[in-house]
Amino acid sequence: MTEDFHRIRRLPPYVFAEVNAAKAKARAAAEDIVDLGMGNPDSPTPPHIVAKLIEAVQDPRTHRYSMSKGIPGLRRALAGYYDRRFGVKLDPETEVVATLGSKEGLANLAQAIASPGDTILVPNPSYPIHQFGFIIAGASVRSIPYTPNDDMLAAIDRAVRHSVPKPTAVIVNFPSNPTALVAPIAFYRELVALCRRHDLFILSDLAYAELYFGDTPPPSVLEVPGAKDITVEFTSMSKTYNMPGWRMGFAAGNPRLIAALARVKSYLDYGAFTPIQVAATAALNGPQDCIEEMRVLYKDRREVLVKGLRAAGWDVPAPEASMFVWAPIPERFRHLGSVGFSKLLLEKAKVAVAPGLGFGEHGDEHVRIALVENNHRIRQALRGIKTFLSGDNAAPVDAQQEALNA
């Protein structure tokens, strides 16, 4: 019995694995690699949140099984956040569920609402769980444009008219991982009207809601009147409060979808450790100056990285939001594809980035660069990249070696 299991067979090869293996090999050889690949925040969780965790964990009552859908105080805190930030009223009993991060929440919802034969509309490129969560659940995925404009809306309308059966849901993610694009509220109004007309659910990933650099905060789909009839939105504490390892997120919105998610979750997990939920409640209800400090930190890193890359001859856009630069591969390296270019950058510049192909086939002309190192390390990466770009490096090292041996 050596054949892969059915769900494993449905998963494509993990694109990032090839670059990760090359990175591990370089580090094993004691090479100093500046890792700008994974979006893994490097700053500590704010002290008042850690203090609340320490306080809560000393109460032995918190060591028992927790509530799968989240303790009541945490759900009320999330509802309070939505009211303050977006002007959206939520019932913490029926319209909010605490999840083990936004990623796990989306995957669990996929298990709850998708089945073989269903079609889900997913932007391409997009964060991998947006498509793989539904593929694992047995559904099929149809790609749509990733830009929040008429191209995406037209593709959704076309998919509904030409798919049998019609799609079940559409996923949106703004601010976007990996593209860093932000959607205006006007786009959400058109999206909600279109999806209501076609009886489509909207699944919104708002994990980067607080990581923006302009004067206008990114909106929520739920701000649109009537959106709650068809929408569930996922948020996360990972980036907002530098809590990625804590695994704390939320789903909010349509009561029917929330009930389905809560029921599936009740079979799969007991929820996060209660002291983590208590500390998360303190984070949402407590002082928020740490969020502004986080924005300032990432904006400063963005300025250093973008300015340095442009000075090195690599013209990249400055992201409006998120912790990523979605960088088009320089023209003379584009034929390598994103995996080949990422391996070459690792070998020559000692800098790790994420190949765009890992986010979908339409990302293969880009790489994602994460702002997850301090400015000293970013400048070190920039020196390596500048040296690399000024040299004659047009193919991966293994290809160059093959040419020399021929």
Domain contains 1: no
Co-location of 217 and 364 in the same domain: no
Q: Is the pLDDT of residue 400 over 80?
A: no
Strand partners, 205: 234
Mean pLDDT in the chain?
A: 92
The pLDDT of 22-51, averaged and rounded, is: 91
Co-location of 71 and 117 in the same domain: yes
Strand order in the sheet with 140-144: 96-99, 249-253, 231-236, 201-205, 169-172, 119-123, 140-144
Measure the CA–CA gap between 399 and 336, rounded to whole angstroms. Answer: 11
Co-location of 182 and 278 in the same domain: yes
Co-location of 314 and 380 in the same domain: yes
Q: Is the pLDDT of residue 16 over 90?
A: no
Co-location of 130 and 169 in the same domain: yes
Co-location of 343 and 395 in the same domain: yes
CATH of the domain at 238: 3.40.640.10
Q: Is the pLDDT of residue 27 over 70?
A: yes
**Looking at the whole model, is its pTM more than 0.75?**
yes
Q: Is 366 helix (H, G, I), strand (E, B) or coil?
A: strand
Domain contains 219: yes
Q: Please state the domain count of the chain.
A: 2
Q: Is the pLDDT of residue 401 over 50?
A: no
DSSP single-letter state for residue 13? P
Domain contains 248: yes
Co-location of 240 and 301 in the same domain: no
Domain boundary among 285, 303, 321: 285
Domain that holds residue 58: 47-285
Domain contains 228: yes
Q: How far is CA 169 from CA 11, 22, 150, 205, in A?
A: 20, 37, 18, 13
Q: How far is CA 51 from CA 38, 64, 273, 275, in A?
A: 28, 20, 16, 11
Domain contains 368: yes
Per-residue pLDDT at 403 = 35
Domain boundary among 285, 307, 326: 285
CATH of the domain at 12: 3.90.1150.10
Reported confidence tier of residue 164, pLDDT bands at 50, 70, 90: confident
Could you read off the pLDDT of 334-391 as tens digits, one per residue?
999 999 999 999 999 999 999 999 999 999 999 999 999 999 999 999 999 999 998 7
Q: Is the pLDDT of residue 278 over 50?
A: yes
DSSP single-letter state for residue 321? B
DSSP single-letter state for residue 95? S
Which distant-in-sequence residues (6+ apart) come within 8 Å of 234 by Cβ?
99, 102, 105, 106, 203, 204, 205, 206, 207, 249, 250, 251
Q: Is the pLDDT of residue 275 over 60?
A: yes
Co-location of 124 and 34 in the same domain: no
Measure the CA–CA gap between 341 and 383, rounded to whole angstroms. Answer: 17
Co-location of 40 and 58 in the same domain: no
Measure the CA–CA gap between 207 and 321, rounded to whole angstroms. Answer: 11
Co-location of 211 and 181 in the same domain: yes
Please tell me which residue, 4 or 138, carries the higher pLDDT value.
138
**Element containing residue 7 per DSSP (H, E):** helix 6-10
Q: Which of 133, 118, 116 is nearest to 167 (CA)?
A: 118
Measure the CA–CA gap between 234 and 207, rounded to whole angstroms. Answer: 7
Domain contains 316: yes
Co-location of 225 and 344 in the same domain: no
Co-location of 305 and 330 in the same domain: yes
Domain boundary among 233, 250, 285: 285
Could you read off the pLDDT of 305-322 as tens digits, one per residue?
999 999 999 999 999 999
Domain contains 187: yes
Which distant-in-sequence residues (6+ apart) come within 8 Å of 159 by Cβ?
119, 121, 142, 144, 166, 167
Domain contains 117: yes
Sign of torsion over alpha carbons 187, 192, 198, 203: positive
